[in-house]
């Protein structure tokens, strides 16, 4: 029987893995854990995150810093001197995601005794910060790799049990593009609007080439399978998220506005239900899908070269939201 370890144990494993990475990949022994932080930074912060889903846990591990810290970390990874040519934003994002992918692999190897079945999802780069839900906990520490200061962060669900059954004899090779995922998500949203929200008035207004980046809030959930690693999400502004949450909770227009915490929890539950409907709809093409934690982000996600996205603006009654899918482009999405 494998035991579920604490959030601090997760952070300790991540810190040890970062030391291994600094020695083997970045070529420096100069690594120090400076402080354990009571909260993770929210101002002027960039972050790269990757979901891990296992038999006992669903966690999100992340590396956070400011623009300068991320640039220095990327330069160190690419073997560039401080005075070298300035990296583009795209190059920084790609380098940091590669660092996180390597770090994730080290963590998984170290965790095999506690959690031998860990699936890694799609790494994302976020300009902004996460709002924790009521059933989530976190641990954070400030570390230095040489002169580079970064925060290591773990966000974890407080509940257990995330392993999905793996049926045999099903076709997992069927191709699904980001647009295919979005079409299924749109149909699932119509089903949700009728059955959960009690609203038949649903319309897909536009298919968007890019998802919005300004004044946007988003709730996202990772899905990891044998042929895909995707992130599905619901985006809107503050008013749109409030209206969606109030509709889900059955509140009338004249009722008091929801607290931010209640709003975050409500839209997270909407996405959990939507995710379940999507999984049911595509079971013939993706019979094995592991679901991670829903996360709420104030800010935007930066895509990298090996990711594609699809987005649609939809209306549920009077509520306007964006449905988005971000998908890894290569076929092999996970390692065992």
What is the dotted CATH code of the domain comprising 7-157?
3.40.1550.10
What's the rounded mean pLDDT across residues 201-222?
Answer: 84
What's the rounded mean pLDDT across residues 110-124?
Answer: 81
Same topology, domains 7-157 and 178-328? Answer is: yes
Give the span between the Cα atoms of 51 and 121, in whole angstroms: 5
Angle 211-314-122 (CA atoms, 0-180°, nearest 5)? 40
Share of the chain above pLDDT 90, in %: 48
pLDDT at 147: 86
pLDDT at 330: 62
In CATH terms, the fold of domain 178-328 is: Chemotaxis protein chec (3.40.1550)
Tell whether the model's pLDDT for residue 2 goes beyond 80: no
pLDDT at 174: 59
Per-residue pLDDT of 293-335, as tens digits, reads 889 998 888 888 888 999 999 999 989 999 999 998 864 444 4
Structure token pair of residue 18: 């970062």
Domain positions in the chain are 7-157, 178-328
Question: In which region does residue 188 sit, left (phi positive, over 0), alpha (psi from -120 to 50) or beta (all else)?
Answer: alpha
Tell whether the model's pLDDT for residue 214 goes beyond 70: yes
In DSSP notation, 164-221 reads PP--SS--------HHHHHHHHHHHHHHHHHHTS----EEEEEEESS---SS-EEEEE
Worst-scoring range by mean pLDDT, 17-26, 30-39, 198-207, 275-284? Answer: 30-39
In DSSP notation, 243-270 reads HHHHHHTT--TTSPPPPHHHHHHHHHHH
**Which of 226, 222, 120, 115 has the alpha carbon at shortest distance from 168?**
226
Between these two residues, 43 and 162, which has the higher pLDDT value?
Answer: 43
Average pLDDT, the chain: 85
Confidence class for position 232, pLDDT limits 50, 70, 90: very high
Structure token pair of residue 46: 């960039």
pLDDT at 332: 43
Per-residue pLDDT of 55-89, as tens digits, reads 777 889 999 999 999 999 999 999 887 667 788 98
Structure token pair of residue 36: 């354990």
Per-residue pLDDT of 156-207, as tens digits, reads 887 764 444 444 444 444 578 899 999 999 999 999 999 999 899 999 988 8
Q: What are the CA-CA distances from residue 312 to residues 150, 207, 221, 251, 257 (Å)?
A: 35, 4, 17, 26, 27
Worst-scoring range by mean pLDDT, 127-136, 146-155, 313-322? Answer: 127-136
pLDDT at 172: 46
pLDDT at 41: 75
Per-residue pLDDT of 81-110, as tens digits, reads 766 778 898 899 999 999 999 999 999 888
pLDDT at 227: 67
pLDDT at 5: 78
Q: What are the CA-CA distances from residue 130 to residues 46, 120, 145 (Å)?
A: 11, 19, 24
Worst-scoring range by mean pLDDT, 10-19, 63-72, 133-142, 269-278? Answer: 133-142
What's the rounded mean pLDDT across residues 252-268?
Answer: 87
pLDDT at 290: 86
Give the span between the Cα atoms of 202 and 193, in whole angstroms: 7
């Amino acid at each position: 029987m494998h035991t579920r370890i604490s959030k601090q144990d997760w952070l300790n494993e991540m810190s040890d893995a970062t030391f291994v990475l600094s020695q083997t990949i970045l070529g420096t022994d100069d690594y120090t854990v400076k402080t354990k932080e009571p909260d993770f930074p929210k101002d002027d912060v960039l972050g790269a995150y990757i979901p891990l889903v296992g038999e006992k846990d669903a966690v999100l591990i992340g590396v956070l810093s400011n623009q300068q810290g991320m640039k220095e970390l990327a330069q160190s990874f690419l073997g560039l001197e401080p005075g070298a040519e300035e990296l583009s934003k795209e190059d920084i994002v790609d380098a940091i995601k590669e660092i996180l992918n390597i770090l994730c692999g080290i963590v998984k190897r170290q965790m095999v005794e506690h959690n031998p079945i860990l699936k890694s999802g799609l790494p994302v780069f976020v300009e902004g910060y996460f709002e924790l839900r009521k059933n989530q906990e976190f641990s954070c520490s400030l570390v230095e790799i040489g002169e580079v200061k970064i925060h290591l962060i773990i966000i974890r669900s407080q509940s257990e049990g995330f392993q999905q059954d793996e049926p045999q004899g099903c076709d997992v090779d069927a191709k699904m593009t980001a647009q295919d995922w979005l079409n299924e998500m749109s149909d699932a949203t119509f089903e949700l609007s009728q059955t959960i929200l009690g609203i038949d008035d649903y319309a897909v207004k536009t298919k968007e080439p890019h998802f919005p980046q300004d004044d946007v809030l988003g709730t996202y959930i990772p899905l990891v399978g044998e042929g895909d690693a995707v992130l599905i999400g619901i985006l809107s502004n503050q008013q749109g998220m409030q209206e969606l949450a109030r509709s889900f909770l059955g509140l009338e227009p004249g009722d008091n506005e929801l607290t931010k915490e209640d709003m975050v929890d409500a839209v997270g539950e909407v996405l959990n239900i939507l995710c379940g409907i999507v999984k049911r709809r595509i079971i013939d093409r993706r019979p094995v899908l592991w679901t991670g934690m829903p996360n709420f982000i104030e800010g935007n996600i930066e895509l990298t070269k090996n990711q594609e996205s699809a987005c649609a603006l939809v209306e549920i009654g009077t509520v306007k939201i964006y449905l988005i899918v971000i998908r890894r482009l290569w076929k092999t999405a996970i390692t065992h």
